[in-house]
Amino acid sequence: MGQEHLVGHGSETGAVLLASIGRRLVRYRLGDDGFVERDRLELPLAVQYACFHPARPIAYVACSNGGVASAGDRHCLVQVSLDDTGMQMAAEPVALPYRPLHASVNTEGKRLTLAYNRPAAVTLHDLDDDGRVAPRRRLLAEGTALVGYFPHQVISMPGSRDLLLTCRGDDAGQAGEENPGSLRVLRDEGQTLACAQTVAPDGGFGFGPRNCAFHPRGHMLYAVLERQNRLAAFPYREGVIAPQPSWDVELLENAGNVRRPQLGGAIAIHPTGRYAYVVNRAHPVADGSGPLPAKAMTCGENSVVVFELDAQTGEPREMQRLALDGLHARCLALTADGKVLVAAPRQAGRFMRDDGRIVECTAGFATFHVADTGRLTFIRQDVVDVGNDQLFWTDFAPV
C-alpha cells in the first residue's frame, strides 16, 4: 500500500492515540511525520480493552492474565490519569471476576460497564464526581438466560438509560453445537440488571454480532456480524430495536472463497452520520485453529470497507474498499472531527499470496485521511515493534 515508517520520537501535533502492547499502555500524538510516542505505562496485567471518561482525562483499562484462548485467573480494572505530566495509575486496581472483553462509560460519566465472554457476564460500576470507581454499588449479571452467549461489547443506547449488550454466540465445532447470537437490551433496576429486549433473528442461529454502533441521529443501529462477515442495519426508535434488520450486506470482496479464520471486526461511523467504516480481519494458520507455522500459509481478507449511509433510510451502500498491509486489524479508530482514520494490524507475521509470493507483515498503524466525501486516502504505515505481544487495543482519546 505504501512505505512503512518506524514510530518516531520527534515533533508532535494533532490527535492523541492510546494503544496497548501486552501490559504496556502507550500514548502517541499524531505529528507531521506520523505517530510520535509520548509516554508509556506498565500495568499489572495485559490490556484487554480500554475506554475514556467523557469529560475528565481518565482512561479505564480492563486487564487480565487471560487471553483469546485462556480464561486466566487474575483480572482487574485500572484507572489511568492522562494529564500532561504523564500517564499514571489514579487509584488502586479494582478486582474483576473474569477476563473482560469490553468497557464503556455512559455520556454523563456516571456509569462504567464491562462485558465478559467466558463465563457470560456483565458488571456495572458507579463512578463518583471525579470519575473514580465508587465502592457504593457494583452490579453483576451473568448466565446465558440473561446475558446470552459470548458477550463481546456493551454500550449505552441513545435516548435511554438502557445498555446494549452485543452477544456473538459461537459456531458449531468440536466443542459442541452452535450457540446463538443476540442483541440484548439491559435495564438498570437499581439492585439488578434485567433484560428488557432480545433481538435474535432466526433464533440467533447464523447471527453472530460482534461490534455495534448507533447512527448519530439515533434512528439506526449497525451491527457487524463477525461469524457471517456481514453488516446488518436495524431501525431503532424510542429505545426499541427492530426485531429484524432492514438491510444485511456482504463485507467480503470474495465471499465465495473464504479462508478461515475470516472475521468481521470493528465499526466506526463518521460524525456526520453519512459514512460507516468496517474492518475485515484475518491471519494465516496451519489448519484453522493453530498458530502460524514456519511455512507461510495463505490468508483471508484484511481490509477496510467504506459504506455510504442513506440519509433517509439508513441503508448502507459500499462505496470504497482498501486492502490493509497487515494482519488482523483488531481495532479501528476515528478522530472526533472525522478527518483521520487508523486501522491497527495487531501482529507481525508472514503469509503466502495466491501467486506464491511470501509477504512479511508488521504490526502498527495504517493511517488514512478522510475526505468530506467520506472516501479514504492512505497516508502512511507506522511500524510498532510488539515483540512476542500484540497490538491488542487502540483508540483516539477524546478532545
Confidence of residue 3 (pLDDT cuts 50, 70, 90): low
* Ranges 83-87, 115-119, 241-245, 378-382: which has the least confidence: 83-87
On the 0-12 / 13-18 / 19+ scale of CB atoms within 10 A, 287 is: exposed
* Ranges 7-16, 87-96, 191-200: which has the least confidence: 7-16
**For position 85, what pLDDT does the model report?**
87
Type and span of the H or E element at 276: strand 275-282
Cα within 13 Å of Cα(360), Cβ side:
2
Query: Is the model's pLDDT at 33 over the cut of 90?
Result: no
Query: Is the model's pLDDT at 294 over the cut of 80?
Result: no
Report the alpha-carbon distance of residue 319 to residue 337 in Å, rounded.
Answer: 21
Report the alpha-carbon distance of residue 281 to residue 260 in Å, rounded.
Answer: 10
Q: Which residues contact 318 (CB under 8 A, 6 or more apart)?
A: 249, 305, 306, 307
Angle (CA) 268-273-278 rounded to 5° is 25
**Which residue in the block uniquely carries the three cell numbers 467523557?**
54
Q: Which residues, listed in sequence order, are joined to residue 386 by a DSSP beta bridge?
A: none
* Ranges 118-132, 144-158, 292-306, 320-334: which has the least confidence: 292-306
Per-residue CA distances from 259 to 41, 134, 204, 298, 386 (Å): 37, 46, 24, 8, 25
Grid cell, residue 253, equals 470482496
Of 234 and 84, the structure prediction assigns the larger pLDDT to 234
Query: Is the model's pLDDT at 22 over the cut of 50?
Result: yes
Type and span of the H or E element at 65: none
Query: Is the model's pLDDT at 145 over the cut of 60?
Result: yes
Query: Is the model's pLDDT at 11 over the cut of 50?
Result: no
**For position 359, what pLDDT does the model report?**
87
> Average per-residue pLDDT in the chain?
93
Confidence of residue 12 (pLDDT cuts 50, 70, 90): very low
Q: Print burial letters for 292-303: b (CB count within 10 Å at least 16), e (below 16).
A: beeebbebbbbb
**For position 257, what pLDDT does the model report?**
87
Confidence of residue 13 (pLDDT cuts 50, 70, 90): low
**For position 300, what pLDDT does the model report?**
92
Residue 50 · residue 25 · CB < 8 Å = yes
Residue 322 · residue 304 · CB < 8 Å = yes
Q: Cis before residue 119, ω within 30 degrees of 0?
A: yes
Torsion angle defined by CA atoms of residues 25, 281, 385 and 88, in that order, rounded to the nearest 10 degrees: 0
Report the alpha-carbon distance of residue 223 to residue 398 in Å, rounded.
Answer: 23
The mean per-residue pLDDT over the stretch 1-7 comes to 65
Confidence of residue 175 (pLDDT cuts 50, 70, 90): confident
Confidence of residue 135 (pLDDT cuts 50, 70, 90): confident
- Over residues 44-86, the pLDDT tens digits come to 999 999 999 999 999 999 999 999 888 899 999 999 999 988 9
Strand 376-383, strand 4-6: pairing: parallel
Q: Which residues contact 42 (CB under 8 A, 6 or more apart)?
A: 23, 24
Q: Which residues, listed in sequence order, are joined to residue 50 by a DSSP beta bridge?
A: 61
Q: How many CB atoms lie within 10 A of CB 242?
A: 14
Of 70 and 368, the structure prediction assigns the larger pLDDT to 368
What is the DSSP secondary structure assignment for residue 179, as one 8-state letter? B
Residue 225 · residue 209 · CB < 8 Å = yes
With pLDDT > 90 as the criterion, what percentage of the chain qualifies?
Answer: 83
Structural domains of the chain, with CATH = 16-96 (no CATH), 109-396 (2.130.10.10)
Instruction: Report the Cα 198 to chain-centroid distance in Å.
Output: 22
- Over residues 90-131, the pLDDT tens digits come to 999 999 999 999 999 999 999 999 999 999 999 999 999 999
Query: Is the model's pLDDT at 10 over the cut of 80?
Result: no
**For position 263, what pLDDT does the model report?**
96
The mean per-residue pLDDT over the stretch 362-380 comes to 97
